[in-house]
Amino acid sequence: MNKPIRVLIVDDSAVVRQVLTQRLAADRAIEVMGTAADPVFAMDKMAKEWPDVIVLDVEMPRMDGLTFLRKIMAERPTPVVICSTLTTKGAETTMQAMGAGAVSIVAKPKANLKQYLLEESDDLVAVVKAAAQARVRRMAGGPKLAPAPAKLSADAILPSATGSQRAMSETTDRVVALGTSTGGTQALEAVLSALPVDSPGLVIVQHMPEAFTAAFAQRLNTVCDIEVREAVHGDRVHTGLALIAPGGRHLVLERNGAQYRVAVVDGPPVSRHRPSVDVLFRSVARAAGRNALGVIMTGMGDDGARGLKEMREAGARTLGQDEESCVVYGMPKEAMKLGGVERELPLHAIPAAIVNGR
């Protein structure tokens, strides 16, 4: 029998510590080994027993979560899930934490906190389990829980393409679609910061809660030669621009004459995610066909696997990040098993493949 995942919760809110403990301890695969009100208390506990995963707030007394995270990643790299408030200030700090080595985000609002964590964070257990599998590298009995949502396919947003709906081929405009999840913030920074200003237009889904994607895009924009921003409904896709799907909405590529534009649409979660990589990839298969390149990168689960296969069947070139360079080799693995990946590449080789179109 496998040992349970030992989790340490570090948050200055007693309510958060209580609810997260209830939520995680309800799963037999997880053991909450302790909680701490701030990093100083946490270090005392960690001196006696080291956790497999740390769930960490970013704004705390005595030592902030970002300083604590950097200390952990420099001394003994450990998977860290950031539990951050849904505010602009919180989002900016959280993006710094993701850049410092945290693997995922759990969102929390300021109001109705307990109810939100119990009813809305249905993926919390999955996030912690994914974090336990993550490859991190050294860097400088409670209330009834809501059931997990049904796992819908991209059919919930877009019908699959028929012959008459397949992309027109009378264009040389290229589009690159990227999908990623756990570990993706660092992977996307590595890829996008290596691209030249004349790179083809990119449309991107990174699994991330609402209110964090704008700060993520802004952060990337400061370190990249290309322009990076959160997608707005009707944005045109063009050379030197990367559009990131806003959290809580699906991103769809559409063809408008000789141009590509994006639609930001509402709808249920697809493959348990919103935005969904499957939705984006299906739309790219329909709108761009063989003029597209699809790239699926690090992440847990199978979102994007079916969509990437549809892209390949529509004539697009398709790539998967290889296992060695993934933080979590889940999404690329499932896409490979399904036949959607034409070839796998290490993370450092993906920028050149985007420039070359294959």
> pLDDT, tens digit, for every residue of 168-184?
444 558 999 999 999 99
d(CA 182, CA 201): 23
pTM comes to 0.83
Least confident stretch, 83-97, 125-139, 148-162, 331-345: 148-162
d(CA 179, CA 168): 23
d(CA 272, CA 201): 27
Which of 52, 84, 199, 207 does the annotation list as catalytic? Answer: 207
Q: What is the mean pLDDT of residues 44-63?
A: 92
Q: Residue 172 burial by CB count (10 A; 0-12/13-18/19+): exposed, middle or buried? A: exposed
What pLDDT was estimated at residue 146? Answer: 37
Which of 84, 104, 121, 181 does the annotation list as catalytic? Answer: 181
Which of 121, 303, 322, 325 does the annotation list as catalytic? Answer: 303
Who has greater pLDDT, 149 or 105? 105
Query: Would you say residue 144 has pLDDT above 70?
Result: no
Who has greater pLDDT, 170 or 24? 24
Query: Has 233 been annotated as catalytic?
Result: no
CA-wise closest residue to 338 among 314, 356, 320: 320
Give the number of C-alpha atoms closer than 13 A to the C-alpha of residue 197, restricted to the C-beta side: 1
Query: Would you say residue 167 has pLDDT above 70?
Result: no
Query: Would you say residue 209 has pLDDT above 80?
Result: yes
Kindly state which CATH superfamily the domain 5-133 is placed in: Response regulator (3.40.50.2300)
What pLDDT was estimated at residue 270? Answer: 93
Q: Are 294 and 308 in contact (CB under 8 A)?
A: yes
What pLDDT was estimated at residue 120? Answer: 58
Query: Has 303 been annotated as catalytic?
Result: yes
Given 3.40.50.1820, 3.90.1420.10, 3.40.50.180, 3.40.50.620, which CATH number is that of 165-356? 3.40.50.180
Q: What is the mean pLDDT of residues 73-87?
A: 87
* pLDDT class of 136 with cuts at 50, 70, 90: confident
Q: What is the 3-state secondary structure (H, E, C) of the chain?
A: CCCCEEEEEECCCHHHHHHHHHHHHCCCCEEEEEEECCHHHHHHHHHHCCCCEEEECCCCCCCCHHHHHHHHHHHCCCCEEEEEECCHHHHHHHHHHHHCCCCEEEEECCCCHHHHHHHCCCCHHHHHHHHHHCCCCCCCCCCCCCCCCCCCCHHHCCCCCCHHHCCCCCCCCCEEEEEECCCHHHHHHHHHCCCCCCCCEEEEEECCCCCCHHHHHHHHHHHCCCEEEECCCCCEECCCEEEECCCCCEEEEEEECCEEEEEEECCCCECCECCCHHHHHHHHHHHCHHHEEEEECCECCCCCHHHHHHHHHCCCEEEEECCCCCCCECHHHHHHHHCCCCEEECHHHHHHHHHHCC
Tokens of 58: 């970013």
What pLDDT was estimated at residue 267? Answer: 93
Query: Would you say residue 141 has pLDDT above 50?
Result: no
Query: What percent of the chain is predicted at pLDDT more than 90?
Result: 66
Query: Has 160 been annotated as catalytic?
Result: no
| Numbered ranges of CATH 3.40.50.180 in the chain | 165-356
What pLDDT was estimated at residue 164? Answer: 43
What pLDDT was estimated at residue 274? Answer: 94
What pLDDT was estimated at residue 59? Answer: 85
Q: What is the mean pLDDT of residues 59-86?
A: 89
Query: Would you say residue 193 has pLDDT above 50?
Result: yes
What pLDDT was estimated at residue 109? Answer: 72
Q: What is the mean pLDDT of residues 156-166?
A: 59
Kindly report whether the peptide bond that precedes residue 275 is cis, defined as omega within 30 degrees of 0: yes
| Numbered ranges of CATH 3.40.50.2300 in the chain | 5-133
CA-wise closest residue to 179 among 56, 340, 6: 340
What pLDDT was estimated at residue 163? Answer: 47
What pLDDT was estimated at residue 319? Answer: 98
Query: Would you say residue 121 has pLDDT above 70?
Result: no
Q: What is the mean pLDDT of residues 138-159?
A: 53
Who has greater pLDDT, 203 or 257? 203
What pLDDT was estimated at residue 348? Answer: 96
